[in-house]
């Protein structure tokens, strides 16, 4: 019975985490900066792996794209939750750029994101050494 209760609590937490992350993408698509920042920890950890020119999420997280005008549109294609982590695969509105985000949540707030951007295409087209930027952990202070 303890195992069943734990599993039920995990499923509820996973569904809530998916709801928070889905709300984040809706806010990004609707260019709702206030909602975006309300869902993120003020000191969110952000990791990026991909072409440096595709750090679109970083511009939103650090406030340099506060208006969200002309910003990249993230279109989620699949969302899966595993305990405190939510994995989202998607592309842009044209379907030409693929990405994966791994969000880590605690108490309904996003604490970390690991972003993987079009890395397969980049590795195939240019080779790993010259085109892929892998950032170290970065603490972003949201406005």
pLDDT band at 64 (very low <50, low <70, confident <90, very high): low
- Phi/psi at 125 (5° precision): -80, -40
For 67-122, the pLDDT digits (tens) are 555 567 889 999 999 999 999 999 988 888 889 999 999 999 999 999 998 755 44
Give the pTM. 0.76
Is residue 24 packed enough to be buried (19+ CB in 10 Å), middle (13-18) or exposed (0-12)? buried
* CATH 3.40.190.10 correct for 2-139: no
Q: Where are the domains of the chain?
A: 2-139
- Note the pLDDT of residue 10: 92
């Amino acid at each position: 019975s303890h195992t069943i209760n734990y599993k039920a609590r995990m499923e509820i937490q996973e569904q809530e985490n998916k709801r928070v992350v889905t709300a984040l993408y809706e806010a990004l698509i609707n260019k709702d900066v206030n909602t975006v920042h309300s869902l993120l920890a003020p000191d969110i950890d952000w990791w990026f792996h991909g072409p440096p020119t595709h750090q679109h999420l970083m511009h939103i997280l650090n406030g340099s794209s506060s208006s969200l005008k002309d910003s990249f549109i993230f279109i989620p294609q699949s969302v899966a939750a595993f305990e405190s982590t939510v994995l989202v695969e998607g592309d842009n509105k044209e379907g030409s750029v693929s990405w994966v985000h791994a969000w880590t949540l605690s108490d309904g707030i996003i604490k970390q994101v690991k972003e993987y951007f079009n890395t397969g295409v980049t590795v195939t087209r240019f080779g790993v050494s010259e085109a892929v930027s892998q950032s170290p952990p970065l603490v972003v202070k949201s406005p």
